[in-house]
Chain A
Amino acid sequence: MTQAQPIVVQRWNVLSIAAVTSLVALLVALAFGPTYLGPNLTDRITTLFIYVILAAMWNALAGYAGLVSVGQQAFFGLGAYAAIRLSNAGINVYLALALAPLIVGAASFPLSALALRLRGGEFAIGMWVFAELAHLSVNLDGLVQGETGTSLIALSAFAPDVRRACNYWIALALMTALVGLVFVLLRSRTGAAIQAIRDNEEAAASVGVRVFATKRLIFVLAAAGCAAAGSLTLSTLISFQPKTYFSVQWTAYMIFMTLVGGLGTFEGPIIGAVIFFVIETIFGASGVWYLVGLGASALLFSLFLPRGIWGTLTDRFGIHLMPVGYRLRFGSGEPR
């Protein structure tokens, strides 16, 4: 006799409660970082926070909205440039660093009208052309002095220790805010729309998902997030050379982190950023072969492990640490 079993919709389980609790504990521990990490480690961990932001933003774009961009360095560079411009206009330097991502995010809104009409490879290289154009235009600004570049001089008013701790905390706060925003987005009604678009754009549109508006939301978020990473990088490096900030290398890093961690998963890019951070710390000095290794990993992962490390693990074992989705489980009743 077949009788329908009651089905329970579940969002949280023991594992995800434990994971979120330990994540919060980790963030609290990290908040006190500058007090127990040495100056060197504080700087390095600040860089890790920036990598997590970059990976999470690129993943939101490619993994969820299905938009592979090779031009995210445009926003990274523009974020740093906007901070320099604002600070030069007499605005408090930390306010300038905070406002820059918002301005770049707002500026990306009109751009999205053009960019989001491009498909697949056209979008990928179209964004790259935009990054080149942004780079050349910034070079035209007399303040930047072409490729010679300039510095965020106002920052040198602060003692190095104070600056280091401030950078760390701002990076931690922005990382938490941006990754948290992706988390909240994914759990919301929009999140369901985003994941539907990822799986099949036409089908999503047919059930009433506003595809363009949803993609635009992600596009603007990713632009502002990458700009935040650029402005944070400027606060740690102080110097601004357009060539460094508008380098396609940044996008190569984002692609590596996301692909290795797991494209289209929430946890993947964070894991990918940690892996990239460790690899960079160990092999970064070996120059060209390190870059060959990064490129080869991106190539091999895309071909043989397209869901990345984390995506493969979740597919195989059904582990979901962050409660971004729903699960259906048979409720009480005899298992057959």
Chain B
Amino acid sequence: MVNELVQGILLGCYYALIACGLSFTFGVLRIINLAHGSIAVLGAFVVWTIAEQWNISPFLALVAVAPFMAAAGWVLQRTVLERSLRSGALTPLLSTFGLAIVIDNLLFSKFGADTRSMAPNIGDLAFASWNLPGGVTIGQLALLTAIVAVALLGGLQLFLARTPLGRAIRATAEDPDTAELVGIDSRKVYAAATAISMVTVAIAGTFLALRATFDPYAGSAQLIFAFEAIVIGGTGSLWGTLIGGIVLGVAQNLGSQISPQGFLIGGHLVFFAVLAARFFIAGRSPGSLVRSLRRTSP
């Protein structure tokens, strides 16, 4: 039981990692990028290809890929998101959904239906674990994922609170027009935010490929997990996303104790329970990023 809880928490940290970029873009741009999961899987495929081709560690491949993902994020913002944002609240959903279909099927045409994993590329790390008293097992890779997730979320929070670009992003998230008045180029800020988000997506995609298998159509499941983590934790708050991910992971692990299908059902049920609680018990109070950002500023 204790072990299940620990495994759930570790799994939840992975969900927080995959949700990080989605939470960040949602907080800054106020849109939900429906291509988020597909882009993570795209990142996983790119990292996998480089690691295989040059026979290097996936972590080294990730470092090489990260700048390109940042550039891709910049382009994505300038070509798709910026235009979508101008034409109303619904358009970003439609355009990013179309983009997700394009990415999934292009990946399928290039890589086929085979499921892949990068676990063989990291040797012992994939399966080594520590046995703790009380029957608790902690996988080294799972712990590394958790450390990266916490470091990334904490790093982003610090970045937003302390750096000039972070301040510009917070200002733009709150009110782009007023931010323009004090000399902030909101187009640049949005593009930078999307670039940062894409780097976190590449990191998440790499960990997806390390800890499990992936295939061209794996994106939609990742999008759903990421979204559930965000909603459970409270929309737009980065630390909330970590808590949301952990709640989701624990619920899934407990669900799987009841029945094989209980893994996914448990997660979905907690998601709806949290929504219902949010609307009917606590009243409507979604913590917005702006509010949580204000709290972090001195």
Partner-B contacts on A (CB < 8 A) = 62, 66, 68, 70, 114, 117-118, 120-122, 124-126, 128-130, 132-133, 136-137, 139-140, 248, 252, 255, 259, 288-289, 291-292, 294-300, 302-303, 306
B64 interface contact, C-beta 8 A: no
A126 to B223, CA, bound (A): 11
Q: Least Cβ distance of A3 to chain B in Å?
A: 40
Interface of B is mostly: helix
B89 interface contact, C-beta 8 A: yes
Q: Least Cβ distance of A60 to chain B in Å?
A: 14
A137 to B80, CA, bound (A): 36
A299 to B276, CA, bound (A): 33
How many chain B residues have a CB neighbour from A under 8 Å? 46
Q: A136 touching B265 by the CB < 8 A rule?
A: yes
Q: A303 touching B279 by the CB < 8 A rule?
A: no
B227 interface contact, C-beta 8 A: yes
Query: What residues of chain A lie closer than 8 Å to B109, measured between beta carbons?
Result: 288-289, 292
A329 to B176, CA, bound (A): 41
A144 to B54, CA, bound (A): 47
Q: Least Cβ distance of A45 to chain B in Å?
A: 27
Q: B98 touching A132 by the CB < 8 A rule?
A: no
B24 interface contact, C-beta 8 A: no
- B245-281 contacts to A (CB < 8 Å): 259, 261, 264-265, 268-269, 271-272, 275-276, 279
A248 to B89, CA, bound (A): 22
B162 interface contact, C-beta 8 A: no
Query: What residues of chain B lie closer than 8 Å to A137, measured between beta carbons?
Result: 265
Query: What residues of chain A lie closer than 8 Å to B104, measured between beta carbons?
Result: 291, 295
A303 to B81, CA, bound (A): 9
Query: What residues of chain B lie closer than 8 Å to A124, measured between beta carbons?
Result: 32, 34, 93
A133 to B89, CA, bound (A): 27
In the complex where A133-B268, A133-B269, A288-B109 touch, is A68 in contact with B98 (Cβ < 8 A)? no
A62 to B95, CA, bound (A): 14
Q: Which 10 A-B pairs have the closest CB atoms?
A: A121-B32, A295-B101, A299-B98, A298-B98, A295-B102, A302-B94, A133-B268, A302-B95, A291-B105, A292-B105
Q: Which of A255, A289, A291, A303 has the most CB of B within 10 A?
A: A303
Residue from B97, B101, B227, B261 in contact with A140 in the complex, judged by beta carbons closer than 8 Å: B261
A306 to B264, CA, bound (A): 36
Q: A136 touching B268 by the CB < 8 A rule?
A: yes
Q: What 1/0 mask marks residues of chain B from 72 to 111 whose CB sits below 8 Å from any chain A CB? A: 0000000010011001111111110111111011101100
Q: A299 touching B95 by the CB < 8 A rule?
A: yes
A122 to B88, CA, bound (A): 16
- B31-64 contacts to A (CB < 8 Å): 31-32, 34
Query: What residues of chain A lie closer than 8 Å to B94, measured between beta carbons?
Result: 68, 255, 259, 298, 302
Query: What residues of chain A lie closer than 8 Å to B172, measured between beta carbons?
Result: none
